[in-house]
Each structure stands twice: as structure tokens, then as C-alpha cells.
Structure 1
Amino acid sequence: MEWDWQFTVEILPLLAEGVKITILATVCGTILALLLGLIWAVGRRSKNRYLRLSVIGFTDFIRGTPLLVQLYFLFFVLPDIGIMLSPFVAGVIGLGLHYSTYIAEVYRTGIDNIPRGQWEAARAVNATSSQTWVHIILPQAIPPMIPTLANYFIAMFKETPLLSAITVVELMTTARTAANFSYRYLEPITLVGVFFLVISIIAALALRKLEWRLNPNKSKA
């Protein structure tokens, strides 16, 4: 099968709309994952044994089950108990919840690397728990986490085609629709790969620049 440039031009606007949904789902999922991940990380450090064990059990369960199964549960099972979610919302929650459990481990490692003296200094100046976290611990812990968090951000972006399983009209769904309608798969599926590759490279470069800004003393080699 030869490449059809006319067909390529015709489907580009459709694929561009799919790209918008894909990027939006990734950004929303990342924000949710960052917030939930911090909650899980702090919960694992709780002095309350039941809370700590509950968080550990929940995060292990989420990490131990496939993202696709979790998406199906959110979209197809929850309505049976009266919780109706739109495909996009279910997809964002699924992505965010799934990756939050991995990001929690990144947070935990970064927090554990903070010297004990920083915690003692916070207590010495009578800083509250929230002040200690917001003004002392997290500003030091987060910059070294950026490379790993960036990897999870890009990994989440590459997982968005799974959202097509719950009828989210993202990039892959749009490409498959165009292919099924025209019986031409070469152009749309190839373009999907190109879009993912280009956006992943751009995102990686942008995140690396952010890392350099947050770590000015780090070598840029």
C-alpha cells in the first residue's frame, strides 16, 4: 500500500482534535496523580497504624492490578452502584489514581532523603506540621524528584490509548475511526506514532529544562 498524501491531509484536522483530548487527559491525570501521590506518601508516614496500613494496602492493590481493569471498573461497574462518570472523567480518574501510587513512592524516597536535622530544626523554631511540610521539607524534596516524575508523566501520556476502551475519543480512537471508515490504516496509525513520538520528545525537553531551573547547580551535560 502506497502512502496517500491527500488522505493524510484530510485526516490531520481530526487527529489534531484527538491530540487535544489526549494532552488534556494527560495533564489532568498528572495533576490528580501528583496530589493523590502526596497524600499517599504522607499517609504512609502517619503515626496512626491503621491509617498507615490502609494506605499501604490500597496503593499496593492499585499497583498490582492493570490500568485497563481499573478503567473498566470506573466506567462500567460504578454505574451499578449509582455512580455515573463520563468517559473523560473516568479516564482521568483512572490515570491519576493508577499513577499516584507510583508517584507516592517517588515522594516517599525524596522525603526520606531529607536530613533528620531539617525536621529537628523545624521543631526547634516551633513550626507547625503544615509549615514544616510546605516551607521546609517539600521545597527540598521535590527538585531531585523531577526526572522520575517526568518519566511517569511521559509514561502516562503513552498509556492514553487505553482510554479508547471506555469510549474516550482521544488520538487512538480518532485514528481507528478514520481507518475503519476509509479502510486505510497506514496513514492514521503511522501519524499516531509520529504524534506520540514528537510530543514525548517535546515534553521530555521541557521537563529537563524545568529540572535545570530547579537544580541550577546540576550539570547540564
Structure 2
Amino acid sequence: MIWSWEYAWSVLPLLLDVIGTTLLATLFGFLIACTFGMVLAVLGRSRFRVIRWTVNGFIEFVRNTPLLVQLFFLFYALPLSLGISMSAFTTGVIGLGLHYSTYLAEVYRSGINGVEKGQWEAARALNFSKQRTWTRIILPQAIPPILPIMGNYLIVVFKETPLLAAITVMEMLSRAKNIVSRDWRPTEPYTLVGILFLVISLLLAALVSLLEYKMAQRQSK
């Protein structure tokens, strides 16, 4: 028999047992991406050419190299070259965060560029400091329009978490591989992992759609 419901129900709790690791890696990785992406977006507008070049170079390098290679470097090469050693989970979270911060930096940049020039001029006329200009005027106007795009990247980060299996993070795919190695039945574990990813991705997509709807309602008022 290709598919056994009895066997599928028996391995499902083992997969659900590590779903928290997958969700935590997604959440923490996305938070790092949002935070560092904002830093990159702001530094990318620096009046100092060296800073702009450095930021743009970092973004291009990270975006044009595979995430899996970056994870291997952080987990295997960094401890040997610099003596910096982290747990597999921490390495995976940082790897996800740094990689997608470069994408979110561009999202932030588009939102910032969408703020009218008159807002910058008004801040200068009122003698606002740079910090106050960013926190009180620019960011409150730049972030709301890009929230749906950021939500889409949350889904992307979630779907990339299986790559963490390559650095021994025990998430859903790793657990499924262990089950397959033990029982030599690949159909049920891998199918269940796919279904779980599909269900959670659809739930996240529904939340993003709800966010878009709420924002559209707010803008129409």
C-alpha cells in the first residue's frame, strides 16, 4: 500500500512536536529582517558616499548569493575563521534575518521614496532633528503602505525554513527525514510536511489579505 492513514496519524504528532521551532525561526528571522532592513534603508540614504556604497555592496552580495551557502558559512566557516560559534537555531535565525533584510531594505526604500518631498521640507522648516524627522514624520507615512508587501515576505521566510535542516536545525523537514530514515516510508511524512506548510502559508496569506483590506478601508475614509 502506498498510503497508510494509520501510519500517517501515528507520525503526525512527531511533526507537530517541532512545528514550534519552525514558527519561532520564522518569527525571529522576520523580526531581524525587519529591523536590519530598516537600518540598511536609512543608511542607504546617507550623504556619505562610502556608507552608501558599503550598504549597496552588502545588499547586492547577499541578494546574489544563495541563502543555503550563507547558512553554511555562518554555521561551519565562521567558527573556524573567526571563532564565532552559535547554536544551529541561532545561526539559522540570523541567516534568515540577514538574507531577507536586504529584500526588506528595498521595500522600505520604496515606502520612504513614496513620502512627498514637502514632508521633508516641512521637517527642515520646523527645525526637526534627523531622528525626530524619521520617527515622527517619514516612517509613520512610509510604513503603512508597504505592510502588505512585508506580510508577503513573512510567508516567504516561513517557506524557506526547511533550508535550516542543512545546518541540523530540528524543524519539520528534519523530523520528517529522521522518520523516513527510521521507517523507510517517505510518502506519509513528506506529504504531511507539505500539507502543514500549505495550511500555515494559507493562514498567513489570509492574515496578509485581511491587513490589506483593513488598510484599504482606512485609506478610503
Same fold (TM over 0.5): yes
RMSD: 1.3
In the superposition, the TM-score normalised over structure 1's length comes to: 0.95
Partner of 2:61: 61
CA distances 1:153-196 after superposition (whole Å, capped 9, x unpaired) = 11111111110000000010011111111111111100011001
Comparing 105-114 and 138-147, the one that deviates more:
138-147
Q: Secondary structure at the match of 1:51?
A: helix
Please say if residues 143 and 211 of structure 1, whose CA atoms lie closer than 8 Å, have aligned partners that are also in contact.
no
Matched, 1:71 2:71: yes
Task: Specify the code of the residue in structure 1 equivalent to 2:66.
Answer: P
Code of the aligned partner of 1:207? V
- Mapped partners of 1:67, 1:193: distance in 2: 21
Q: Which residue of 1 aligns with 2:87?
A: 86
Q: Is the 8 A contact 1:33 1:97 kept in 2?
A: yes
Aligned residues: 219
Q: In the alignment, what sits opposite 1:184?
A: 185
- Give the structure 2 partner of residue 5 of structure 1: 5
Query: In the alignment, does 2:27 pair up with 1:27?
Result: yes
The one-letter code matched in structure 2 to 1:82 is G
Where in structure 2 are there 5+ consecutive unaligned residues? none
* In structure 1, C-alpha distance between the alignment counterparts of 2:213 and 2:124, rounded to whole Å: 31
Structural mapping, 1:1-221, within 5 Å: 1-80=1-80, 81-217=82-218
What is the rounded CA distance, in whole Å, between the counterparts of 1:99 and 1:218 in structure 2? 28
Rounded to whole Å, the distance in 1 between the matches of 2:206 and 2:214 is 12
1:125 CA displacement: 1.8
Percent identity for Structure 1 against Structure 2: 52
* Structure 1: stretches of 5+ with no match in the other structure: none
User: What do the CA deviations read for 1:61-93 (whole angstroms, capped 9, x no partner)?
Assistant: 111100000000000001112100100000000
Alpha-carbon offset, residue 146 of structure 1: 1.7
AA in 1 matched with 2:70: Q
CA distance in 2, matches of 1:123, 1:87: 47
Structure 1 counterpart of 2:203, one-letter code: I
Cα offset for 1:206? 1.1
- Superposition deviation, residue 213 in structure 1: 3.0
